[in-house]
Chains A and B, each alone.
Chain A
Amino acid sequence: MARPAAPGITLTIDDREVTVPKGTLIIRAAEQLGIEIPRFCDHPYLAPIGACRQCYVQVEGQGKLQTSCTSTVAPGMVVRTQNTSEAAREAQVANLEFLLLNHPLDCPICDRGGECPLQDQALAFGPGESRFVDAKRVFPKPVPMSPLVALDRERCVLCARCTRFCDEISGDRFLELFARSAGERVSIAAGEDFRSPFSGNTIQICPVGALTATPYRFVARPFDLTSGDSVCQHCSAGCNVRVDVRRDEVVRVLARENPEVNDAWICDKGRFAFRHADAPARITTPLIRDRGLEPASFGEVLTWVAERCAGARVAFLTGGRLTDEDYYAMSKFARTVARTNDLDHRRAFHGGLAELVAAAGATDRETSVTYADVERAKVILVAGLDTEQEVPILHLRIRKAAARGARVVVVHPRRTRLHDVAEHILVRPGQEVSVLDRIREGVDDGSPEARIAASIRDAGDSAVILAGERLAEHPLAADVALAVAAKTGARFGFVTRRANDRGALSTGVHPDLLPGGRRLDHAEERAEVEAVWGPITASEAGRNAHEILEACAERAVDVLFVIGADPLRDHPDAALVRRALANVGTLVVHSLELGDLEPFASAFLPASAAIERDGHLTDWEGRWQRIRPVRGALGISRPDWEIFCGLAAAMGADLGFETLDEIRREMASLLMPRSVGERPNVWAGAGAPQWIDDLTVFTYPMLVDEGRLSDRADELKAALEEPAFAEMHPVDAEKKGLSDGATVRLATERGDVLVPLRVTEHVAAGSVFLPFNQPGVAANTLLSGRSTAAVRVEAAEPVGSADVPAEAAEAAEAEEATA
């Protein structure tokens, strides 16, 4: 991040000197002196517009007042704000009078009351009474812009922050200014709702109560709330958030500014999916099957579990949402207490060098990428990743880079919402590897790959390559992307999807990897870990998630821990999971609730929710960020690391730490970023693409779906969750005689589903897209361990038309005939 500083510009504001970089706006320079110039339309992350006219200052030598939000500093400039200039103050008061002219006296019922810039400024120096005696402009209100966002036109001051956000940042231009003069209004086009995964940001930046959030409407006042800083747990973007709690219930989540991570934004899922931790289904006491799943004490349940683990074959399955400390404890417990290497947090990917490099936290130039690198990049290649749906704030950063002139290319089976700023190469799932290989080779045949290769080469270390974790499913595809970087000097980032997949990876929640990406089967690296942990006696090579489940199904596992995961919904092979859970000896669940696992669970240990925890999350860049508890843990729920300590003690072992600080100290030594020593020679060419079959179904989760963390986020789902659909290319649809809107049956060797079809050229020919976890359609019932499978597609009767049994229909006809 650090760059040699350009010489600054020194100016005087209200008789105080300040030096700032060239190009700084006066309003920003003033902030550095702690001088707040009132403003509405100005926002540090939006281009200046000079519309509200509130921020007037007097600049010596200029006859007219200047808007400080559009004027850049000049050497020796002398500026007077409202604090030291009567003219500036008068102009601001006059402008406030104009703004309040038509503003309704809604404060008592307005969500913004108490945290409203207009209110603050009116109270600070506005006139106490209005001189306006004529009729105000009134409008019907509120007007829904979407199920999440409502507009009150009477309160709107037409600062255009919302429309500019949509134009400059998200590119979802559904909010626009209509009409002109006093009739100007923010609006959507009828029938074209404000459906954007970033819509909630407009509410947060609205300087008045014009845009309000339906989930927060009339819910609380600022003084009702206790707030805590945290990091969003919905994906690996690592967005900084502020969580607002009222009487122990989360009522709102806001973005917290961090220019190094999320700028000032979060996505709608992070903003509006906050109710799962307060769901009625949440269980906050241990449960035990022997007692008919009745509450029991921790002591009782831990003892019971410990007995079953002693000398048994134990395995661990987890998700990607626990803290680094939780994962570290899990990793150590598995190896040193449960004596097994059967633990995994991943669902489907195969590893390879890219994963190893990410696990090691390597910060070699070509193996790490930060948000800043993306923002400054001249060329960005995205492969195997739909940023808008999977890591939304990374999506915004890529758009920011594109706005600055970056060339963006996406290699993916399906067109993404970067399409207006990026060239897309649609490839069948599994074929990305050959496209990337051609880029690595630097082919020179006038093809898109050739042009991309040339751009990356020319950009050197201003090129960024982002590989989604799905790319690692296909043998070594991610490694080819890494090889492109190694060859050209570009920077490479392996983008995991869930909030702390990186943390799980780096702490060794992995069958083959120990903390810091150290390989289990590499004597020296293993010894480094044993120096801290003591001997790792688990001798058999570890099983990955899929293999663990197979072993459970074959009764080769005695005790299975499912920790912060929902394999029935999340693992890409629902049938296998069902068999595994049915056949495994003992199932121990750590989670917030039991849900679908209830019929199978032998014991339940209540985990505390993310907002109740202290710890670190590691985002996709590999950045550690601290989360702190926003409220106390409900009931007697506990963080998972504590549960492991308790379990170890119940098994007569000692994990070696009793507090978070102790864990951190121990972790620190093992998790320093390290280079991946001699790299396995992994690539010698991709060979011909492997066609799996005629059609391949591929899946990934949409941002808002039936995932557990979106439970009870009704407004969010109403706005952004689509009814189930599948997508197919026109060329394939025609061959099969299928039309847009028809109900089709997708069948694989594992199962079949019925779903409406969309025929679109925005998906690669030869592939069928089925979102992962849709209402009524679970893609994982079709899969056998990977996110792709061979699939047959044929027309089917729509669900509902087969409701009337054939005999009854015939009988009805017969009756009519005789009547």
Chain B
Amino acid sequence: MTVDFEPRLTRDWDDPGVIGIDGYAAKGGYEALGRAVTMADADILELVKSSGLRGRGGAGFPTGMKWGFVPRDTGKPTYVVVNFDESEPGTCNNRELVERDPHRLLEGAAIAALAIGCETIYIYVRGEYLWQSIVLERAIAEAYGSGRFGADALGSGKRIDVVLHRGAGAYICGEETALLSSLEGYRGQPRLRPPFPAVEGLFASPTVINNVETLMNVPDILVRGSDWFRELGTEKSPGTKMVTISGKVERPGNYEVPLGTPFRVVLEDLAGGVLSGRGLKAWTPGGSSTPMLTAEHTDVHLDYESLAEAGSMLGTAAIMVMDETDCVVDCAQRMVRFYAHESCGKCTPCREGSWWATRVLERIEEGDGRDEDLPVVRDLGKNLLFRAFCALADGTASVINSSLQHFRDEFEEHVRLGGCPLKVDHLEEVPA
């Protein structure tokens, strides 16, 4: 079963010409910006609101509403910050989107800037995306050179400036307030809210922070309208979503699908099914921070509401597939180690709890697990959830809780056998 639809974000992926501004313009690029500079800020806002576009970075917050929170009367400048820190394990759609269509991002960001009266856009790109950031730098130069950006964008009298800022290797900087902290030259630790970034964000000024994919939806909405946007997806989750699927599949990659597409379609039709025809064991719907699901959930629809009902989240729609030969304890241990490494260190539960969890899970996987370890792991899952300063620890908890929930026997087996059952050829049962 496949779904036929008119691609939107990936529409020009087969045309390397759109990477350059002339190729992009030839395909209708910057027409939306041309319209936006003549519109009233409030009208741009309304349009995006009515489209129902939701943030694609994981939180799913309605984008137009987010823009609407920005006060325009503080006397301070407003800012658009593009969150290109994409670091959620399993996620790489932003990367490919920018590699293939950099101008679309710039155009979307510029329209967002016009909607909130912003004159300087900051793009925060993760350091490891060096090539992609260079692609952006070149596109930015072209945009300035062609008069679309600068002091007098498209002759409108409005200023549109862009500053590209690179991160240096910290997953936590994908969290909005940590990103702002990093951008301001401080350690990338999240900040207290309130005040909220919309009111006091970058440089203590009203700020909107948007994901790359979110912004790349905006030009089409300007040109084609919100009704068109709503033709795909579901009522509560309109539009398309980039899905990254990786791990044990035949064709890992970034695919665009309408929101609400069943996972089965992505797995089998787009990604070619589980690698070597093996059985599906477990999969993350939205990156390692979302509770993992099992083969039982193959028919779940990929949208915000359906996944929440299934006990997980859409997140960044980064699907990592594990098959029957993969040890869930081993995978869980590796994912938890990620959180321990990326913890900013500010708050007690995340810093200590993820470190403890790593130690225990490593030990269980290596065969030194004890009976007392399982209650500890269970408690860690409970004591990390909603107990930390930010949601990073919730990601850790998701891994622990969902792996225990669906694969408890595998954990117990490790302890009982004194080793990983999937790594041992011939198993000898240790008497209880």
Contact = CB atoms under 8 A, between A and B. Distances in A.
User: Do A and B share a complex?
Assistant: yes
20 contacts: A51-B348, A51-B389, A53-B347, A54-B348, A65-B386, A65-B387, A95-B387, A98-B352, A101-B356, A131-B376, A133-B372, A158-B348, A177-B345, A180-B172, A180-B343, A181-B341, A181-B342, A182-B343, A182-B352, A182-B354
A510 B379 CA distance: 73
Contact of A183 (B172, B345, B376): B345
Interface in A679-709: none
A177 B170 CA distance: 16
A65 B349 CA distance: 14
Contact of B170 (A48, A52, A157, A180): A180
A70 interface: yes
A179 B386 CA distance: 24
B72 interface: no
B35 interface: no
Interface string A43-70: 0000011111110100000001100001
A91 interface: yes
User: Which 3 pairs between the two chains have the least Cβ-Cβ distance?
Assistant: A184-B345, A98-B352, A181-B343
Interface of A: 48-54, 56, 64-65, 70, 91, 94-95, 97-99, 101-102, 131-134, 157-158, 160, 177, 179-184
Contacts of B383: 91, 94-95, 97-98
A56 B356 CA distance: 21
A748 B295 CA distance: 93
B417 interface: no
A53 B389 contact: yes
A65 B387 CA distance: 8
Interface string B339-378: 0111111111101111110011001000000101000100
Contacts of A158: 345-346, 348, 351
A134 B370 CA distance: 12
B208 to A, nearest CB: 24
B360 A134 contact: yes
A95 B348 contact: yes
B424 interface: no
Nearest to B352: A98
Interface in B50-64: none
A134 B355 CA distance: 11
Given A51-B346, A94-B379, A98-B353, A181 B340 contact: yes
B183 to A, nearest CB: 17
B408 interface: no
A97 B341 CA distance: 21
Given A53-B348, A98-B348, A131-B376, 6 more contacts: A91-B383, A94-B379, A98-B356, A101-B352, A133-B372, A180-B343
B192 interface: yes
Contacts of B342: 181
A136 B352 CA distance: 11
B331 interface: no
A102 B386 contact: no
A127 to B, nearest CB: 11
A157 B187 contact: no
B300 interface: no
A195 to B, nearest CB: 23
B388 interface: yes
B352 A180 contact: no
A132 B345 contact: no
A50 B191 CA distance: 9
B349 A95 contact: yes
Given A98-B352, A101-B356, A179-B345, A48 B388 contact: no
Contacts of B354: 181-182
B200 to A, nearest CB: 14
Contacts of A64: 386
Nearest to A177: B187
B347 A50 contact: yes
A50 B347 CA distance: 8
A56 B353 CA distance: 17
A133 B360 CA distance: 9
State the majority secondary structure of interface residues on B.
helix
A149 B303 CA distance: 56
A182 B347 contact: no
B54 to A, nearest CB: 22
A182 B348 contact: no
Contact of B387 (A49, A94, A132): A94
Nearest to A179: B345
A99 B187 contact: no
B371 to A, nearest CB: 12
Contact of A182 (B170, B187, B355, B363): B355
Contacts of B376: 131
Contacts of A95: 348-349, 383, 387
Contacts of A97: 383
B372 A182 contact: no
A101 B352 CA distance: 7
Contacts of B387: 53, 56, 65, 91, 94-95
Contacts of A54: 348
A179 B346 CA distance: 11
A61 to B, nearest CB: 16
Given A70-B192, A134-B360, A50 B389 contact: yes
B355 A181 contact: yes
A53 B345 contact: no
A716 B342 CA distance: 40
Contacts of B341: 181
Given A48-B192, A50-B192, A181 B345 contact: yes
Contacts of A101: 352, 356
Contacts of B351: 158, 181-182, 184
Contacts of A48: 192
Contacts of A70: 192
B171 to A, nearest CB: 10
Contacts of B356: 98, 101, 132, 134
B65 to A, nearest CB: 22
A131 B372 contact: yes
A99 B360 contact: no
A46 to B, nearest CB: 13
A179 B352 CA distance: 15
Nearest to B341: A181
Given A65-B387, A131-B372, A180-B187, A53 B343 contact: no
Nearest to A181: B343
Contacts of B352: 98-99, 101-102, 182
A65 B347 CA distance: 15
Nearest to B370: A133
Contact of A99 (B348, B359, B372, B379): B348
A52 B347 contact: yes
Interface string B142-164: 00000000000000000000000
A134 B359 contact: yes
Given A51-B389, A53-B387, A157 B347 contact: no
A282 to B, nearest CB: 48
B377 to A, nearest CB: 11
A55 to B, nearest CB: 11
B364 to A, nearest CB: 11
Given A70-B192, A98-B349, A53 B388 contact: yes
A64 B393 CA distance: 14
A594 B164 CA distance: 69
A70 B191 CA distance: 11
Contacts of A94: 349, 379, 382-383, 387
Contacts of A131: 372, 376
A183 B355 CA distance: 10
A182 B345 contact: yes
B70 to A, nearest CB: 23
A529 to B, nearest CB: 57
A70 B372 CA distance: 36
Contacts of B353: 98
A181 B386 CA distance: 18
A133 B383 CA distance: 18
A180 B344 contact: yes
